[in-house]
Amino acid sequence: MGRASSGRRRTPSGVVELLRLLVVVFCAGVGYEVSRRLDATHTVLGPFNGVTVGVIVGSGLGYVIGGVLGRTAVTAVGRAEQSLRGISAEQLVAGVFGSVIGVLAAAAVAWPVFLVVQQPFLALPLFGFVIASVGVLGYRLGIARREEMLRLFAPRAGVRTRTPSAAALPRLLDTSVAIDGRILDVVRAGFLHGKLLVPTAVLGELQALADSSDDLRRAKGRRGLDVVEALANEPDLEVEILDDELPAVPEVDAKLIRLCLDRNLALLTLDGNLARVAALAGARVMNLHALAQALRPPVVAGEEVVVHLLRPGKEAGQAVGYLDDGTMVVAERCRERIGQEVTIKVTSVLTTANGRMVFGQPVGGVPAVSALVDGLS
């Protein structure tokens, strides 16, 4: 069965306590060294001398600070684990290579400093901080410049580099796709499977629509929530609720683009403007509207179609109707036949960014009086 899982994970208490113990030992050493340098060896505070008090105070501070640092470190590792799930093998190799180069460079620079500082418990944390910082920097640079790095070794190793297609990446669901609902048919037809991520920002938008006082907006919001729930129950799809990790980005569209870029995800959307902006930003986009346009049956000049005319067109004598797939049909000299089903012979087809428009004339012509009225109008 498909399952919806939350991005929140339980913090392992054992790991936190281990990190806390390390910080306690470090802070106890700092307290000992500080009290010794202050010549507090012979100072008596109750049953303890000054050095003992320094160790106790340092241990207490280390216990508090270690708990905070431990939980923060475990949370950061958990988020890094989630990020790695959306990273391709090429990105991971490039990042690890950049991290190794950064660590080696940092060690070469920081080692003389470590030798100069005579106190190991002071030099080791500083040395470790520099190594870790430069290692992370090297990893991020490796990810950002992976194409150039892999090209250096690809000719010799016989490896061809390629950027993963949008279909091979985990998908990030947009609000427009949830409201539209056709994604359910795509999933059930077997064309979409794997992991689907639903950001909490999208769920928030759907909930706001569902709570709206406007009937139309409320219906859209409820439909979107129903679609997300149905997707979570699909057996070939793993739906994961992605927590909002970008509070500094208030707009939902900008947040979706940032998530796609940071986590190497493909944006699943029906919003044409959002799709263009995301593509310009370098994100992978799967536009279901473009898929629907590609799957529409072709209509060619000379073909006859039956259309129900609904409203007047912009030009004199024109009437507008729609085919079953949503294609707009503009019929010439048919304004007096609005509300009827008319057989139209296609004269031309215009393809735009918003879809296809079909122009045609009624089969068999129109009465002379109607043609005269159309000409006068």
Per-residue model confidence (pLDDT) at position 44: 57
Rounded CA separation 232/5 (Å): 9
Higher pLDDT, 64 or 46: 64
Topology given in CATH for the domain delimited by 166-294: Rossmann fold (3.40.50)
Q: From the centroid of its chain, how far is CA 249?
A: 13
* E strand residue ranges, 132-258: 171-173, 194-199, 237-242
Does pLDDT of 270 surpass 70? yes
Measured at the CA of 122, the angle between CA 116 and CA 124, to 5 degrees, comes to: 80
Question: What average pLDDT does the segment 170-193 reach?
Answer: 89
**Of 265, 269, 152, 248, whose CA–CA distance to 202 is shortest?**
269
User: By CB neighbour count within 10 A (0-12 exposed, 13-18 middle, 19+ buried), where does 33 fall?
Assistant: middle
pLDDT digits (tens, 9 = 90+) for 246-256: 666 778 888 89
- Mean pLDDT of the chain, nearest integer: 78
Per-residue model confidence (pLDDT) at position 221: 93
Does pLDDT of 370 surpass 50? no
Q: From the centroid of its chain, how far is CA 155?
A: 33
Rounded CA separation 162/321 (Å): 45
Confidence of residue 61 (pLDDT cuts 50, 70, 90): confident
Domain ranges of the chain: 4-157, 166-294, 299-376
Question: What average pLDDT does the segment 276-305 reach?
Answer: 84
Per-residue model confidence (pLDDT) at position 247: 65
Does pLDDT of 356 surpass 50? yes
**Of 324, 322, 344, whose CA–CA distance to 333 is shortest?**
344
Question: What average pLDDT does the segment 178-195 reach?
Answer: 87
Per-residue model confidence (pLDDT) at position 360: 93
**Of 230, 233, 167, 244, whose CA–CA distance to 201 is shortest?**
244
Question: What average pLDDT does the segment 231-236 reach?
Answer: 89
Question: What average pLDDT does the segment 66-72 reach?
Answer: 82
**Of 291, 265, 290, whose CA–CA distance to 199 is shortest?**
265
Rounded CA separation 130/323 (Å): 66
User: By CB neighbour count within 10 A (0-12 exposed, 13-18 middle, 19+ buried), where does 244 fall?
Assistant: middle
Per-residue model confidence (pLDDT) at position 7: 44
Q: Which amino acid is at 342?
A: V
**Of 101, 85, 94, whose CA–CA distance to 161 is shortest?**
94
| Structure token digits, residue 127 | 């040395």
Q: Which run of H or E residues covers position 194? A: strand 194-199
Does pLDDT of 238 surpass 80? yes
Does pLDDT of 40 surpass 60? no
Question: What average pLDDT does the segment 203-221 reach?
Answer: 91
Does pLDDT of 209 surpass 90? yes
Question: What average pLDDT does the segment 81-107 reach?
Answer: 74
Per-residue model confidence (pLDDT) at position 111: 74
Q: Say if 166-294 and 299-376 have the same CATH topology.
A: no
For the domain bounded by 299-376, which CATH number is listed?
Answer: 2.40.50.140
Per-residue model confidence (pLDDT) at position 1: 47
Does pLDDT of 161 surpass 50? no
